[in-house]
Amino acid sequence: MARVLGALPLLAFVALAFGIPAIAMVAGAFTVEGAPGLGNLALTTQGGYLLALGNSVKLSAVVAVLGAVLGTFLAQAVVTSRSRALREAVLTASGVLANFGGVPLAFFWVATLGNAGVISGLFGLPSGTLFTFWGLVLVYLYFSVPLMVLVIAPALDGLRPQWREAAANNGATSWQYWRYVALPVLTPGLLGGVVLLFGSAFAAYATASAMGAGTVLPLVTLKIAAALSGDVQTGFENVGLALSLDMVLVAALVMAVYLPLQRRSTRWLQ
Amino acid sequence: MTALAPVAPVPESAPAASRRRDRPRLWRGVVLALAALYFLVPLAASFWYTVHNQSTGLSLSPYAELWTAEGFLTSLLLSLVLALATIVLVLLLTLPAMITVRLAAPRLRPVMEVICTLPLVVPPITLVAGVSRSLQVGGDVLAPTPFWGTLIAIQNQDFPLVLVFVYVVLVLPFVYRSLDAGLRTMDVRTLVEAARNLGASWPHVMFRVIVPNLRSALASASFLTLALVLGEYTVASILGYQPFAVWIVTISGSKGQLSVAASVLSLLLTWLLLLTISGGSRDRSA
């Protein structure tokens, strides 16, 4: 027992700071007016809550797929470029922007394409352009594309030129090379990237909240916040906890796909 | 990727060398130009938004106004203090645990890995939902006991320890990965045994042998934590505290220009912090 003494503080801390809230969340989700029940979870699969859950999944899925495709193109453009400076600059900027979500991102876009934004003023865009589904996609891509670049660049680097040459020597066209050689090698990395992007867009709250997206596009994170603060109706806190449980289930599913994929894709990086 | 091929057809007769050079140039230029447009326009537009005003024309005054704005310094200070406390606590918890696991209990390693990955599965908003419920219930349950004072103390408005606890949980996966990568590059067991055989005490081993070898991993873990805590909004706003990110939202209602100026400042800060990390990690790989 003495041998694991050094690990005890961490284990105790996680049990306290993570375990207790987790238990409180699950217990709350299954408590209806003081008695155990499934009422809250049933509520989250109806009406406005289901709509919010659907919106979140749809938004995250669109952002994940678009972000993955655009990020891969950008990464390939940078990786195949012979300019070291360009490569360094794009990768560093990706590192910054991938971590740059949240409140400032929301205000950058509001200042750009919001109702009083600089670009919307320049082109006379109708008010509310930013506050739509696709407006939110545009905003979320700002941190998703850089994240994809970071995830996929090492995998693209791992595509050896010899493979392309070997394919060409055997008479393969460029299309055949991508279809039968490069894409299969990249698949775990690409899928892992999609899943990671989905997870990060799904969990995002600050950006949507600061933009005030709740009225045009209710998202599950915004619903949870509203239920917690008792904005809507008191007594709905437990529904917020049930929604949280739904989110954790989706996120757990995402991670269950991501972690094995990540392990597979690292095989090609050696 | 398959769509790349038809972008720029190349005559079959072109020599191999020039084919390699010419074909990618067009699509690569288009991709890079579009990316530059998408990523730079909001930055430029936001900056323009802060310095240009219909009535007064161009002026940098919002940036000067920031420093005297009510709550700016307090909230920024709060964020910095929270970040420092989070860094200290997370390193004090993880480093001894990871070294112990490596030296004495390798069988615990999968357990550690799972524990330190779990927070990734829990979006911050759901974690804070659980935390706020725990604080509520804890308040009722602990009211007659001496622990009630502790519960109130960790929710102190001037220095909410409860935020530090939640942030430690949220950054745990990133810190774990960073330290794990650092520990992989050294032979912990040999170093520790050599130092112990030469009569070094445990604190000496920790601070004079392990920590110096881990310097860049520790630095990158710390800077990442700093960046994440400085930008954190979800947890703090739901629990009702006002660090920097929450302050930006609070003033956005009355002073739009100021909130955008604060956002620009916060991007610059993030940029600086992460540049420092990437400098540090380059040292490590060298």
**The predicted structure's pLDDT at residue B227:** 85
Strand B57-58 and strand A31-32: the pairing is unpaired
Across B129-138, average pLDDT: 86
Between residues A45 and B175, which one has the greater pLDDT?
A: B175
Which residues of chain A lie closer than 8 angstroms to B238, CB-CB? 225, 228-229
What does the pLDDT average to over B192-200? 91
* Subunit contact A10:B97, Cβ cutoff 8 A: yes
Give the A:B interface size as CB pairs under 8 Å: 255
- Choose from A61-75, A121-135, B21-35 the range with maximum mean pLDDT: A61-75
Give the pair of three-digit tokens for residue B279.
């400098």
- CB distance B270–A100 less than 8 Å? yes
Q: Is the pLDDT of residue B48 over 60?
A: yes
Q: Which two tokens stand for residue A260?
A: 């094995």
As given in the structure block, the two tokens for residue A81 are: 């470029």
On chain A, the residues whose CB falls within 8 A of the CB of B46 are 107-108, 111-112, 118
Nearest chain A alpha carbon to B244: A103
The full DSSP string for A48-111 is: HHHHHHHHHHHHHHHHHHHHHHHHHHHHHHHHS---HHHHHHHHHHHHHHHT--HHHHHHHHHH
pLDDT reading at A268 higher than 70: no
Q: What is the mean pLDDT of residues A59-88?
A: 90
* Min Cα–Cα distance to chain A from B234, Å: 6
Chain segment B67-90, per-residue pLDDT in tens:
887 888 899 999 999 999 999 999
Flag whether residue B45 sits within 8 Å of chain A, measured between CB atoms. Answer: yes
Taking contacts as CB-CB distances below 8 angstroms, the residues of chain B near A111 are 42, 45-46, 49-50, 256, 260
Residue B49 DSSP label: H
Give dist(CA B280, CA B206) in Å, integer.
Answer: 21
Q: What is the pLDDT of residue B285?
A: 44
CB-based contact, B142 to chain A, within 8 Å: no
- How confident is the model at residue B273, as a pLDDT? 77
pLDDT score recorded for residue B203: 85
Mind telling me how many Å the CA of A231 is from chain B's nearest CA?
12
- Residue A144 reports pLDDT greater than 70: yes
pLDDT at site A139: 92
Q: Dihedral through CA A73, CA A74, CA A76, CA A80, nearest 10?
A: 140
Whole-angstrom distance, CA of residue B197 vs CA of residue B192: 8
Contact A244, B129 (CB under 8 A): yes
A28 neighbourhood in chain B, CB within 8 Å: 130, 133
Average pLDDT across chain B, whole number: 82
Q: How far is B25 from chain A (nearest CA, A)?
A: 9
Is any Cβ of chain A less than 8 angstroms from the Cβ of B133? yes
CB nearest to A117's CB, from B45, B133, B168: B45
Grade residue A226 by pLDDT with cuts at 50, 70 and 90.
confident
Q: How confident is the model at residue A142 (pLDDT cuts 50, 70, 90)?
A: very high
* Interchain proximity B99–A6, CB inside 8 Å: yes
DSSP bridge pairs for A191:
none
User: Does residue B254 register a pLDDT over 60?
Assistant: yes
- Which helix (DSSP H) or strand (DSSP E) does residue B52 occupy? strand B52-53
pLDDT at A68: 94
Tokens for A206, please give them: 């600050």
Flag whether residue B33 sits within 8 Å of chain A, measured between CB atoms. Answer: no
Which value, to the nearest 10 degrees, does the dihedral of the CA atoms of residues A98, A244, B167, B275 take?
0
Higher pLDDT, B65 or A64: A64
Averaged pLDDT for residues A86-99: 84
Considering only residues B162 and A45, tell me which one the structure prediction assigns the higher pLDDT: B162
Summarize the confidence of residues A229-233 as an average pLDDT.
61
Q: Which of B4, B93, B266 has the CB atom closest to A104's CB atom?
A: B266
Assembly ipTM: 0.84
pLDDT value at position B164? 94
B205-230 pLDDT, tens digit per residue, is 888 888 898 888 898 888 889 888 98
The mean per-residue pLDDT over the stretch A84-104 comes to: 84
Out of B38, B92, B105, closest to residue A3 by CB: B105
> Higher pLDDT residue, A99 or B24?
A99
Q: Does B123 touch chain A (CB under 8 A)?
A: yes
| CB contacts, 8 Å: B117 with chain A | 255, 259
Within 8 A of A21 by CB-CB distance, chain B residues are 127, 129-131, 133-134
Per-residue pLDDT tens over the stretch A15-45: 988 998 999 888 888 887 777 777 778 777 7
- The answer to whether B175 and B122 are in contact (CB under 8 A) is no
